[in-house]
Amino acid sequence: MSAPLFKYGLFGDEISLIVAFVIGIGFGFFLERAGLGSARKLTAQFYLTDLSVFKVMFTAIVTAMLGLFYLSWAGWVDISLVYLSPTYLLPQLAGGLLLGLGFVIGGYCPGTSVVAVSTGALDAWLYLAGVMAGIFVFGEMFSSIGPFFYATDMGSLTIPDLIHLPYGVVVLGVVLLALGGFAGAGWVERLFAPPSRES
Amino acid sequence: MSSSSPALTAVATDEADTTRPAAYMNPYLAGVGLGLVLLAAFVVMGRGLGASGAFTSLTAIAVEAVAPEHTRANEFYAGYLERGVGHPLKTWLLFEVLGVLVGGFLSGALAGRVGRRIEKGPRAALGTRLALAFAGGALMGYGAKLARGCTSGQALSGGAVLNVGSWAFMLMVFAGAYALAWFVRRQWT
Amino acid sequence: MKRPFSYHPTMNQLLAGGALLLGALAVFGSPYRGPVARVNLRELARDVGVEADHVTAEQLADWILQQRADYRLLDLRDEAAWSEYHIPGAELVPMAKLIDYPLLRNETIVLYSDGGIHAAQGWFLLEAAGHKSVALLLGGLNAWKDEILFPVLAEDASAEQRAAFERARFVSEHFGGTPSVSGGTLETDRTPTPLPKTDMPVAPATPRARKRKAKEGC
C-alpha cells in the first residue's frame, strides 16, 4: 500500500541520491555482466552475429513489467505514481532514428559507454565527449527546434490506453512478443554465426 | 551465476569471446538481473533508470561556467540548472551514473575484464574509430535530447511501463541502426 | 520429454515458462486501483489541520505569472460559469466527472469553486483516490476576484499598503482586472466591474506547460 517509497515520503531528496548511487551500481553491474560494456558486443547486434543486446534489453523490460504489474495488482505499489514520461510522437521517432544511427557509428549508448569507461575503453571517453557535444548543439538550437520538440503531444499515454485493451492483455502480448523474438534471435544467430573465430 | 549448470552450455552465445578472461553471463539471466534493478527503481523511487540526463546536467553546468547569462536565458539549459538537491550537480541521474561507473568496474574487475583498450573491429583504422566514436556520440546526444531520453531512460524504463512514446522510440533506434549498419561495417566486422 | 521425471528444463526454458505463466495470469488482473478507496483518516485529518492543502489567490497568481507548469488547475463549477469567467489555465471538470478525469496521482492539483465548499468536497474525493498533492484555492473564485482581479486600496491606506498595492495593481492588470481606490469601506461603493474575457492572452497554454514534467526522464 505504500510504494513507491519515495513518493510516499519515506525518505527525502538527500537519501534519494544515495538510493540513486546504489541502484546505479546494480545497473552498471548487470550491463557489464552481460557484455554491454563492449562496443564490439553491442554492435554485433546490428550484424546479427550476437543478439545479446536485444535479449538483455527485452528480458529486462519483461521482468520489470511483470514485477510492476504483479506488485501493483497485489496493491503494494501504486502504479499511477510511477513516472510515465509524456509521449511526443514525432520528435521521439526522429530522436530514436538519430540515436540508432549514432549507436552503430559510435558503438555505445550513453549508459553502456559509462560502463565501458569504467572498464578502461578509451574510445568510450571520446564517445561521451561526443554525447555532450551533441547535447550542446541541441541546447544552442533549442529556440529554433522548440516547436518540433513540443509537436504531437499525446500526454502520458500507455499502450493499453492507446489500443483500448486491458493492461494485463498487453502484458501477455509483450511477453509473447519477447519469447517469439528470443526464439527468432537464436535462429538468426545460428544463421549468421561467423564461419571463423576472430578475437 | 551457476555456470556449472548444464543448462548454460546450451545457450553459450559467447564463443567469440573465448580469448576473454571470463565468459559473459547468460544474456537472459543478466536481463532478469537488470530488470530487477529497474523494478527496484520503480518500487523505491517511482521512476526508471537513465543516463543521458546526467550528461545534460554536466553540459548545462559547463556551458554556464563559460557563459552564465547566455545559459540562464536558454530555457533548455535553465531547466537542467534548476534541478538537483540544492545544486545542479546533485541530481538523481548523476548519482545513478556514478553508481553505474562503480558497478561496471566491479563486474569488470571480478571477471578480469578491466584494461585499457580501444573497441573496434579488426579492419577499422584507429583514427577513424576515434573520430566516429565522437561523431556517433554527438548524434546520440542530440537524438536523446530530441526524444527526451536514451536507451536507458526511454527504451528500458519506458518500455517496462508500456509507454507509447518509448516503444515508438525503441522501434526507430533499431530501424536506424540496422539501416546504417551495412555502411559502417568496416568499423565492426 | 513427456514424463516430468525425465525432463530437465534448461535455465532459459525455465525463464521462458515462468514469463509465459505470469504473462497469461496477467490477463486476469489489473494494476490500477478501482473506485473503492481505503483512506488513512489520520493522515487526512493531519493535512487539514496543518493547512498543507491551501493555496492563496496571491500564490496562485504568482504561479501563473511565473508560468509554472508543475500543477493542474481544475475549475469545479458548471460550464456556464466557466465560460463566463475562469482563472487562466484552468480546466473545466464538473464535480461528477472529477474521479474519472485523467490526473496523475503525483501531480499537484489545485481545485476551486465559487466559494470553496465544492472544492473542499472535491479535495476529499481526490485524497481518497490516492492523489498525493491536492490543494484548495483558499476562498475560491470569490477570493480570486477580490484579491487579484479587483483589489481595492483604501483611501486612508498607509505608505506600506500603497507600496504593496502597486504590486497588486500590476498583477490585477495582468489578469485583465480593474484595481481601484475606494473612498471608504471596501464593499459599499464598489461598482459592478466587468469580468475580463477568459480567452485573454495570459499565461499562454504554450508547449512550455509540460516542460517540468520531463524532470524524471533520462
Kindly report, residue by residue over C50-99, the tens digit of the pLDDT: 776 788 888 898 888 888 777 899 999 988 888 888 898 899 998 888 88
Q: Tell whether C79 and C22 lie within a shared domain.
A: yes
Q: Tell whether C204 and C153 lie within a shared domain.
A: yes
Q: How far apart are the first and last CA of chain C?
A: 46
Q: Which residues of A touch C32 (CB under 8 A)?
A: 72, 79-80, 167
pLDDT at position C98 is 86
Name the pairing type of β-strands A87-88 and A153-155: antiparallel
Q: Is A149 on the interface with C (CB under 8 A)?
A: yes
Residue C38's Cβ-count burial label (10 Å; 0-12, 13-18, 19+) is exposed
Residue C4 lies in a domain: no
Q: Cα B18–B21–B23 angle (5° rounding)? A: 55
Length of chain A: 199
Q: Tell whether C88 and C128 lie within a shared domain.
A: yes
Give the dihedral sign, CA C185/C187/C189/C195.
positive
Q: Tell whether C107 and C191 lie within a shared domain.
A: no
pLDDT higher than threshold 80 for residue C190 = no
At residue A175, the 3 state secondary structure works out as helix
pLDDT at position B17 is 46
pTM for the whole structure: 0.75
Amino acid residing at B136: G
Please answer yes or no on whether A80 and C22 come within 8 Å at the CB atom. Answer: no
pLDDT at position C208 is 37
Please answer yes or no on whether B10 and C12 come within 8 Å at the CB atom. Answer: yes
> Residue C66's CB: how many other CB atoms inside 10 A?
9
> Residue C166's CB: how many other CB atoms inside 10 A?
11
Q: Is C15 on the interface with A (CB under 8 A)?
A: yes
Q: Tell whether C28 and C83 lie within a shared domain.
A: yes
Please answer yes or no on whether B31 and A55 come within 8 Å at the CB atom. Answer: yes
Residues 108-147 of C with CB under 8 A from A: 130, 132
Q: Tell whether C56 and C107 lie within a shared domain.
A: yes
* Percentage, residues of chain C above pLDDT 90: 10
Residue B152 lies in a domain: yes
Residue C24 lies in a domain: yes
Instruction: Note the pLDDT tens digit of each residue in B39-72.
Output: 999 999 999 999 999 999 999 999 999 988 888 8
Provide Rg for chain A, Cα atoms: 20
Domain containing B170 equals: 125-189
> Residue C45's CB: how many other CB atoms inside 10 A?
10
Q: What is the crossing angle of helices C41-49 and C117-128, to 10°?
A: 140
Out of A16-20, A103-107, B144-148, B151-155, least confident range: B151-155
Q: Report the C-alpha gap between C77 and C94 in whole angstroms.
A: 6
Q: Report the C-alpha gap between B32 and B35 in whole angstroms.
A: 5
Residue C5 lies in a domain: no
pLDDT tier, C151 (very low <50, low <70, confident <90, very high otherwise): confident
Q: How far is CA C19 from CA A62, A67, B35, B94, C155, in A?
A: 8, 11, 13, 33, 75
Mean pLDDT of the A132-152 span: 91
Strand partners, A3: A77
For residue B122, give the nearest of A124, A40, A133 by alpha carbon: A40
Q: Tell whether C31 and C103 lie within a shared domain.
A: yes
- Which residues lie below 8 Å from residue B21, measured CB to CB, with a gap of 6+? B111, B112, B113
Q: Tell whether C167 and C198 lie within a shared domain.
A: yes
Residue B120 lies in a domain: no
Residue B34 lies in a domain: no
Q: Cα A77–A78–A84 angle (5° rounding)? A: 115
Domains in chain C, number? 2
Spell out the domain ranges in chain A: 1-84+158-193, 85-154
Domain containing C59 equals: 15-144
Residue C22 lies in a domain: yes
User: Chains contacting A with at least 3 CB pairs below 8 Å?
Assistant: B, C
| CATH number of the domain that residue C51 is part of | 3.40.250.10
pLDDT at position C36 is 64
Q: How far is CA C124 from CA A55, B33, C44, C142, in A?
A: 46, 41, 8, 21
Residues 36-95 of B with CB under 8 A from A: 36-52, 55-56, 58-60, 62-63, 74-77, 85, 90, 92-95
**DSSP state letters, B13-39:** --GGGTTSSSPPPPHHHHHHHHHHHHH
Q: How far is CA B82 from CA A113, B59, B78, C133, C210, in A?
A: 26, 14, 6, 21, 15
For residue C58, give the nearest of C139, C166, C148 by alpha carbon: C148
Residue C10 lies in a domain: no
* Among candidate residues C144, C166, C196, the one where a domain is terminated: C144
